[in-house]
Amino acid sequence: MRKFCSKCKQWKDMEEFYQRRRSIRGKSLCKACENETVKKYREANKEKINEKGKRWREKNKDKVKEWNKRYYEENKEKILEYQKRYCEEHAEEIAEYQKKYREENKEALKEKRSKYEEENKERLREYRRNYYREYNRRKREERKKNVL
Ligand SMILES: [Zn+2]
């Protein structure tokens, strides 16, 4: 049995058509034409589709989060295994990348650190003071013990 594709205007075997009834306004398109149509539609509406997907994900944040979580739970070992293997196989690349990153961002990182220290001056001072106090206290106790 053959069917007529209203796009390429050709008679084609039934197997050249998708079995599911997906005729657009009564038109039957062969697989090639349908794929082409879908592809063209996607290309022409890429932004609209992306936007729609983004909006959908934003509206269904919880659902997406739940899916991701479930996916992670169900594939945890596979994912961890993959990450481990990836790190092992790319150890040099990763080290190289990190080194390069540090070198390229030396100034920015330094600035970030000094900004952090500036912003946490009091806390850091407090921390150091406590640290030394504790250190001295322990020293004293040790000395005491040695005397006894
Ligand atoms: Zn066709």
3 neighbors 14 (Cβ within 8 angstroms): yes
Whether 15 and 62 map to the same domain: the answer is no
Distance from Cα 41 to the centre of ligand 1, integer Å: 16
pLDDT level of residue 134 (50, 70, 90 thresholds): very high
Distance from Cα 10 to the centre of ligand 1, integer Å: 6
pLDDT level of residue 20 (50, 70, 90 thresholds): low
Residues within 5 Å of ion ligand 1 by Cβ? Answer: 5, 7-8, 30, 33
Tell which residue, 16, 33, 15, 12, has the closest CA to residue 24: 33
Distance from Cα 46 to the centre of ligand 1, integer Å: 23
Whether 30 and 68 map to the same domain: the answer is no
The last residue of one of the domains, among 29, 60, 81, is 81
Structural domain that includes position 124: 90-147
Distance from Cα 96 to the centre of ligand 1, integer Å: 52
Whether 105 and 141 map to the same domain: the answer is yes
Distance from Cα 82 to the centre of ligand 1, integer Å: 43
Please tell me the total count of domains within the chain: 3
25 has pLDDT over 60: no
Distance from Cα 50 to the centre of ligand 1, integer Å: 28
Across the chain, mean pLDDT equals 90
Whether 104 and 129 map to the same domain: the answer is yes
Whether 114 and 98 map to the same domain: the answer is yes
pLDDT level of residue 92 (50, 70, 90 thresholds): very high
Distance from Cα 45 to the centre of ligand 1, integer Å: 22
**What span, in angstroms and rounded, lies between the C-alpha atoms of 14 and 2?**
5
| Distance, C-alpha 55 to centroid of its chain | 18
CA dihedral defined by 59, 61, 66, 68, rounded to 10 degrees? 120
48 neighbors 28 (Cβ within 8 angstroms): no
Whether 40 and 50 map to the same domain: the answer is no
Own/partner pairs, 54-60, CB within 8 angstroms, 24+ separation: none
Q: What is the mean pLDDT of residues 79-106?
A: 93
Whether 56 and 33 map to the same domain: the answer is no
**Residue 31, pLDDT score:** 93
